[in-house]
Structure 1
Amino acid sequence: MRLETQAVHAGEPSNNSEGPVVMPIFQSATFLGTGTYMRPADTPNHRALAAKLASLEGTEAAIALSSGMAAITSALHTALQPGDHVLTQAALYGGTWEFVHNELARLGVSHTTVDAREAPSWRAALRPNTKVFYAEAISNPLVEVGDLAAASAFSREHGLISIIDATFATPVLCRPCTQLGFNVVVHSATKYLNGHSDVVAGAVASSAAFISKVTDHARVYGCTLDPHAAWLVQRGVKTLALRVRQQCASALSLARFLDGHAQVSRVYYPGLPSSRDYARTVELFGGSGGGVLAFEVKGGVAAADAMLGALEVATVAVSLGSVETLVTRPALDTHLHLGAAGRKAAGIADELVRVAVGIEAVDDLLDDFAQALMVVRRALGIITLAQ
């Protein structure tokens, strides 16, 4: 079945005496005489969602967990032991950065960051105890696309477990395990998979053997997703392809508009031909740059904040991948923990604005950003109120 059909039908009830078309919510911690218990993610809702996610990713198995960070940490804990070494791309989601730099180090796991775009540089970072290569399909917040095919091949050559966070790409743009040969894919299901800003969840998809180990970890560490939340994610996934394709198309339109605006100094979006990653985006994702973009507002932090305050359709809030357009300034939230020096090294300007495009009418979004940037220009005295 094609992805759109899998999203609707995979994991749904097919043999139930009551005959529900929609998967019921089994809001029970335990089950009569079966040994089924919620903590190992073993309820009917967990199993149904896992089957749907494995189908979308084309993997043997999957597991739904309590958050995106639960998925990331469970996958890394499963793949690593004290004394091991992991290669990570330099541009990482903030929570992953904290886990790698602080928690893994405390547990005796070292790391080296590499430029995900520069495959020839990776060999020098290898150590005898290197066990994992960790990448992101599209980075946050500068939406960079690394050399993912090379990362998978490099991992196979050197016997590493390759793990990729594909939250920004979703299975709609790329299935990393089946298309690129990655061993493990993780998602913050809070984002596109659920798509409605009402659930915190995560997912890991991989071989049956790896998911069995992740399940053991989740059982011991208590990373279980609530059955109702699993049901919500399962429902959200059914419209994944429709939502993501519209979000990608609208993001491209908004990126083009901002790229030509006098009050914008730089736009980050891999779907623009001017992007350094455009050719790779075409190769990996069919030219779609995803539903997230970022841009720097001329006039500094004050100008960026004035623009955020003037938006009427877009919502100023963290997160992404939802039906509503969410806008944030990473220096204030998602990457605050890096500190000024860390953000500067990562290329994250204080006036950088990240936009996670929703499914609103694209013309309404364009009008909203146009009027908000007009407010900035008036505040800076570039144009008068009459203009």
Structure 2
Amino acid sequence: MILYHGKIYDNSEQNRIISKLKEDLYHSIQYKKPINRDEVIEACDSLAKKVLDGKFDDIVKPFLKTFSISYERFLTMAMMFSREGLSYKCKIELSDEEKIIADRFVRKIYPLGILLHIAAGNVDGLPAYSVVEGLLSGNINILKLPSGDTGLSIRLLSELIKINPALADYIYVFDIPSVEFETIKSLAKLSDAIVVWGGDEAVCAIKSMADITTKVISWGHKLSFAYAVTEATDEDLKGLAKHICETNQVLCSSCQGIFLDTSSKEEQIIFAKRFFEILKQVNKELGLADYGMRAQNAIRLYTEKLENHLTANTIFMEDGVSVVCSDDNILSLSYMFRNVWVKRLAHEDIIPVLKPYKNHLQTVGILCPDLNKRKSLIEKFALAGLVRITEASEMSRFIPGEAHDGLYPLREYSRIVEIPIY
């Protein structure tokens, strides 16, 4: 489906619509009134209320099931569209919109102009929210939907335009297959910036398509983990287990595994067994993961056991959850869906081991009862390159005004214009 000037068209209309897109975009920039941010916030707030009232349950509930997201967590996500959440976000990210410099000129914030959003399919790359961020910064937004999109994004954005028809000239959505390089390239050429959600390959592919005059803003896939001392409390471990089960480890901020502050394999195995028992219990309390997810991982874990004589890994598994102990300290993706690794990483090795991962690092959840040691660990992780340091139970929290991967999106989508004072 295509969303164009507030109306939905079949994909067969794609070439015709794109052929006149440049004229439409430039006309909006030249003749249309700039977006009123307060009106965008009000429209988003109305949309959030409709979602929370169940008006979109026919498409929301399958979406939640696909990603095994609890309804309670979804309510928190929906608050990202609320008046309070968006107003606070703008206050934090665009707090210095207009300033007089040296009594000679005014510094103003303008939108980049036209943003092309290349959306990812994972939950925290929710395409509709990326477009909302573009609107809040005053931009015209072209959204390329991810493959396998459920239809939720185009439904939400269509409703947003119904609430405020003035937004129709600032939102365009296309369902273009990623293999249509020339089509994507033509949209990229029209854009002032390309906002890419995805892994390294996706970012590299888009950079190869982008014109030298087009800015590329990448929100790449990140890895997050927990860091525990052997004295970590059962309460903290239970909070981490709950986070793992609630997110199913599909978010960039989800815990993939646990680095343990030790050089002892014996301590590592004792800790892993302890956490496994807690994870198993929390898994039962919250309800098992989707059967398809468990079946897929059952094959992987069976293979892991078969290769155990080669890897020397210690594996604890039951009821669709597992904890795998390995001897390496490589930061890696887990099997996900309630399956974690435990690796040894003494605190003095944090920076040399993690620094090479650079921009792939996102969140670390710390489990350390000793306040002074926790402060020392926080400093080490900040220097290593982590951009979110939290309690283990809050690794995937949603708080308005938080930076995204260490940056403020609304600032990334804006530019500074200096104007003389007359």
| TM > 0.5 | no
Normalising by structure 2, report the TM-score. 0.24
Normalising by structure 1, report the TM-score. 0.26
Greater per-residue helix proportion: 2
Higher alpha-carbon Rg: 2
Greater per-residue strand proportion: 2
Q: Identify which of structures 1 and 2 has the higher relative contact order when contacts are C-alpha pairs closer than 8 Å and 6+ apart.
A: 2
